[in-house]
């Protein structure tokens, strides 16, 4: 999934650059050794054919990391584009992205197998990068077929130096499986010298260095993103103890020194503030002149009548923060919290402007407790005031004093993080972050953040993040040594060349890097009681979409279709077996259908979520269960509704009956007729057999035909 997101991002970036590109006047006199625009165009058009309908062209030149050209062709009616990047020093093509409306809308089935597409990609790679192709190895685990939209095959190669991978240096390519054209291509390559590997420590020594550095921190993590609340009552969330890789090296060990390689960023879990209870019993018998209020309306009345007024909310802000007298209130609203509908906040905004000045302030006040939870003030001048004389220690005293006064009970439960002093004497303000501590371990995302102006000593921003959270006891938590071992068991250290960014330089370092087998990302959390790797929702991390080869389809009439489904990571419920002649279930059909149409997310989504989505989309009704079998008539309804043709299918009396049996109900006659006419499903060619269950093999054929329909 991560690689798909990366491709999508690259496409978006390419399109944006094509829309905002500026003329290449910067290259009026080309530096020695740097390709001119004309030379870059010759290189690009030698390897790629620009479609005739792209009638606009512009270029963009930059030398951010190396001199490079971005060449952009667009259709003036917005029906296509092509973008090609050329390294102006080496002459390598670094990227190519294209989209054409006519190609996307084209009908017809697949013309290339995965093996055919791979051969096309390998030949193109050798032509594009003759000096580099020998250092690239195909990542077979990342090879993927995408059957949504234009059917395509995705390939990724990783750079190796000897037998050591160069992390971050790669080539990706997407091949159109209808015509064999290259849809997308991306190359990243660092030309920095590679450190010699003969002096590297071994993996055992690297693992010991990982343990000695105390990479993991015991902390609380909230495994749910949103409050669960119903009928005005909020269910408290429970934070669980986890071990988190918080070390600034992110677990990377320098293979030459045996020390952590410090050059990475950490992360934190975010949560919000506490809900409030409602009491509607006293309103249950109100009059209202015959107007009947619903329980929900009564709850809202009960909730709001207990809240502070706008004037009281403004007074709460003025109690702690300095508001310029010129500011005027321009916006005020009482809002339910997006994360917890039982909680209300006053949202206040002030502004002032004239020809020479502009000032702004906003604040959030808990409407039940009068507690200020957010404040920010700024001006056109920003924080550029002169006389920067306040020291960090003095500024922290101001922040501590405010925090202890504005939320005294909470301030006792937090600790200050080390201040980020990246700007040193140039800093115009100091930012202090305070983390909530429970049972002597941190709960990141809860706490305070306070900013102090270095010149004036005024607090210019304040944020309080605090929620009603229950905390699981620490009984049974494994010790740090065991956690380190669990981490390394699931994410062993691999020797790699890694990209190291230091200021404006990008070098390659030889290092041992955690490699989590179940994900494209490193492990971020370990359940502190089991040692199992979990995601931010508290679920055990599992492998995402991957190719699947089935061992029971050789010689089957649907072997080609089933094989393609496996290459797309679909219908792998039985592992290496496909069970082609078994009747398909509703959930299997829906998961494959949504997976084909919308991608990876649906492959691992739980059954109930997929069923809920299908009901919301009117593909099935509430009486259908996930484990039910699907007959041909039902399948026709699901497919045609998925394709957005329900209104057409429901028109009575316009469809002929091309089949001879009477196996389709009158209500669904249009759906079956459309499936027959679009060559999605035709029974045995004579009879539709509407009440006959659809097998898994037939499902593969039906879905692939449905994906070829273009409306």
Give the mean pLDDT of the chain: 82
pLDDT at 356: 78
CB of 322 within 8 A of CB of 361?
no
Q: Quick one: which H or E segment has residue 347? A: strand 344-353
120-176 pLDDT, tens digit each = 999 999 999 999 999 999 998 788 888 766 788 999 999 999 999 998 899 999 999
Residues in Cβ contact with 392 at an 8 Å cutoff, skipping those fewer than 6 apart: 419, 421, 430
**Sheet with strand 358-366: strands edge to edge:** 328-336, 344-353, 358-366, 372-379, 459-465, 441-453, 429-438, 414-416
Q: Are strands 469-471 and 237-245 parallel, antiparallel or unpaired?
A: parallel
Average pLDDT over residues 197-217: 95
Full DSSP string of 63-103? -SSS-EEEEEEE-TTSSEEEEEEEETTT--EEEEEEEEHHH
pLDDT at 387: 58
Highest mean pLDDT among 97-101, 322-326, 615-619: 615-619
The DSSP 8-state label assigned to residue 220 in this structure reads E
Give the model's confidence band at 380: pLDDT under 50 very low, under 70 low, under 90 confident, else very high: low
Q: Any idea which of 28-37, 311-320, 586-595 has the lowest mean pLDDT?
A: 28-37
The alpha carbons of the chain give a radius of gyration, in whole angstroms, of 31
More confident residue, 378 or 585: 585
pLDDT at 23: 38
Average pLDDT over residues 683-694: 95
Q: Are strands 56-62 and 144-146 parallel, antiparallel or unpaired?
A: unpaired
State how far the alpha carbon of 136 is from the alpha carbons of 5, 157, 165, 166, 711, in Å.
22, 6, 9, 10, 41
Scan for tokens 């190669």, then name that residue. Answer: 157
Residues in the chain: 711
Determine the 3-state secondary structure of 251 from DSSP: coil
656: tokens are 């002929």
State how far the alpha carbon of 456 is from the alpha carbons of 98, 242, 390, 451, 650, in Å.
54, 41, 8, 12, 71
- Listed in sequence order, the DSSP H helices in 425-491 are 480-490
In whole angstroms, what is the distance from residue 57 CA to residue 82 CA? Answer: 10
CB of 490 within 8 A of CB of 533?
yes
More confident residue, 486 or 248: 486
Q: Quick one: which H or E segment has residue 611? A: helix 607-616
pLDDT at 81: 95
Q: Is the pLDDT of residue 700 over 90?
A: yes
Residue 444 has φ and ψ, to the nearest 5°, of -70, 145
Q: Any idea which of 45-49, 129-133, 244-248, 352-356 has the lowest mean pLDDT?
A: 352-356
CB of 651 within 8 A of CB of 670?
yes
CB of 125 within 8 A of CB of 133?
yes
pLDDT at 223: 83
CB of 495 within 8 A of CB of 546?
no
85-123 burial, b if ≥16 CB within 10 A, otherwise e?
A: bbbbebebbbbbbbbbeebeeeeeebebbbeebbebbbe
Give the model's confidence band at 423: pLDDT under 50 very low, under 70 low, under 90 confident, else very high: low
221-254 pLDDT, tens digit each = 988 655 454 454 556 678 999 999 988 888 999 9
pLDDT at 472: 93
> For the chain, how many helices (H) and strands (E)?
18, 27
In whole angstroms, what is the distance from residue 27 CA to residue 38 CA? Answer: 11
Average pLDDT over residues 71-85: 93
To the question of pTM greater than 0.85 for the whole model, the response is no
329-339 pLDDT, tens digit each = 988 887 776 65
598-648 pLDDT, tens digit each = 766 667 678 898 999 999 999 999 999 999 999 999 999 999 999 989 999
Query: CB 150: neighbour CB atoms within 10 A?
Result: 19
State how far the alpha carbon of 167 is from the alpha carbons of 10, 137, 514, 633, 640, in Å.
19, 12, 12, 51, 45
More confident residue, 223 or 654: 654
Q: Is the pLDDT of residue 26 over 70?
A: no
488-538 pLDDT, tens digit each = 998 899 999 998 876 556 789 999 998 875 555 556 789 999 999 988 878
Give the model's confidence band at 702: pLDDT under 50 very low, under 70 low, under 90 confident, else very high: very high
181: tokens are 């054209």
pLDDT at 289: 38
The CB-side HSE value for 58 (13 A sphere, CA atoms) comes to: 15
386-403 pLDDT, tens digit each = 556 788 899 999 999 999
CB of 212 within 8 A of CB of 204?
no
CB of 601 within 8 A of CB of 1?
yes
Q: Is the pLDDT of residue 12 over 70?
A: no
Q: Is the pLDDT of residue 20 over 90?
A: no
More confident residue, 584 or 518: 584
264: tokens are 């990475």
């Amino acid at each position: 999934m991560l690689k798909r997101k990366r491709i999508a991002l690259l496409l978006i970036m390419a399109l944006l650059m094509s829309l905002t590109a500026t003329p290449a006047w910067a290259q009026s006199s080309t530096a020695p050794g740097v390709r001119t625009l004309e030379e870059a165009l010759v290189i690009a058009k030698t390897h790629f054919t620009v479609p005739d309908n792209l009638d606009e062209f512009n270029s963009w030149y930059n030398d951010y990391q190396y001199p490079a050209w971005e060449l952009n062709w667009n259709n003036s009616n917005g029906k296509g584009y092509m973008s090609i990047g050329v390294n102006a020093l080496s002459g390598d093509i670094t990227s190519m992205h294209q989209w054409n409306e006519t190609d996307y809308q084209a009908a017809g089935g697949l013309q290339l197998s995965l093996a055919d597409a791979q051969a096309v990609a390998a030949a193109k790679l050798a032509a594009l990068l003759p000096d580099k192709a020998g250092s690239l190895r195909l990542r077979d685990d990342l090879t993927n077929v995408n059957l949504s939209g234009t059917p395509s095959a995705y390939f990724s190669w990783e750079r190796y130096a000897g037998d050591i991978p160069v992390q971050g240096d790669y080539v990706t390519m997407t091949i159109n499986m209808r015509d064999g054209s290259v849809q997308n291509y991306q190359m990243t390559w660092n030309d920095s010298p590679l450190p010699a590997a003969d002096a590297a420590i071994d993996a055992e020594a690297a693992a010991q260095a990982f343990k000695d550095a105390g990479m993991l921190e015991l902390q609380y993590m909230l495994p749910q993103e949103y409050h669960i609340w119903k009928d005005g009552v909020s269910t408290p969330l429970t934070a669980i103890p986890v071990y988190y890789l918080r070390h600034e090296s992110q677990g990377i060990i320098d293979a030459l020194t045996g020390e952590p390689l410090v050059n990475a960023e950490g992360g934190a879990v975010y949560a919000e503030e506490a809900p409030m209870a409602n009491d509607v019993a006293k309103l249950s018998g109100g009059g209202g002149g015959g107007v009947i209020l619903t329980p929900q309306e009564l709850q809202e009345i009960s909730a709001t009548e207990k809240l502070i007024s706008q004037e009281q909310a403004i007074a709460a802000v003025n109690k702690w923060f300095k508001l310029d007298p010129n500011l005027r209130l321009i916006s005020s609203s009482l809002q339910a919290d997006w994360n917890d509908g039982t909680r209300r906040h006053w949202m206040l905004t002030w502004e002032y402007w004239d020809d020479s000045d502009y000032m702004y302030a906003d604040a959030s006040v808990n409407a039940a407790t009068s507690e200020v939870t957010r404040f920010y003030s700024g001006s056109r001048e920003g924080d550029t005031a002169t006389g920067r004389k306040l020291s960090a220690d003095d500024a922290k005293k101001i922040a501590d004093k405010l925090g202890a006064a504005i939320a005294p009970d909470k301030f006792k439960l937090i600790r200050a993080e080390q201040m980020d002093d990246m700007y040193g004497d140039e800093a115009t303000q100091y930012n202090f972050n305070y983390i909530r501590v429970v049972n002597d371990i941190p709960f990141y995302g809860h706490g305070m953040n306070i900013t102090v102006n270095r010149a004036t000593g005024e607090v210019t921003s304040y944020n309080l993040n605090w929620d009603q959270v229950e905390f699981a006891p620490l009984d049974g938590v494994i010790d740090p040594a065991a956690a380190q071992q669990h981490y390394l068991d699931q994410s062993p250290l691999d020797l790699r060349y890694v990209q190291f960014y230091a200021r404006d330089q990008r070098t390659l370092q030889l290092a041992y890097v955690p490699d989590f087998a179940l994900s494209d990302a490193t492990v971020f959390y370990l359940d502190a009681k089991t040692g199992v790797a979990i995601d931010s929702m508290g679920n055990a991390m599992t492998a995402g979409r991957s190719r699947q080869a089935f061992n029971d389809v050789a010689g089957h009439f649907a072997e080609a279709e089933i094989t393609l489904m496996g290459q797309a990571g679909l219908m792998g419920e039985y592992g290496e077996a496909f069970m082609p002649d078994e009747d398909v279930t509703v959930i299997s059909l829906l998961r494959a259908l949504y997976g084909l149409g919308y991608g990876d997310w649906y492959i691992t989504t739980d059954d109930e979520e997929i069923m809920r989505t299908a009901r919301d989309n009117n593909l099935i009704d509430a009486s259908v269960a996930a484990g039910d079998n699907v007959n041909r008539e039902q399948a026709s309804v699901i497919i045609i509704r998925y394709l957005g043709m329900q209104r057409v299918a429901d028109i009575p009396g316009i469809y002929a009956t091309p089949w001879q049996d009477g196996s389709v109900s009158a209500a669904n006659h249009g759906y079956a007729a459309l499936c027959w006419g679009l060559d999605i499903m035709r029974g045995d060619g004579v009879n539709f057999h509407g009440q006959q269950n659809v097998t898994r093999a037939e499902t593969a054929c039906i879905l692939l035909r449905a994906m070829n329909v273009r409306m």
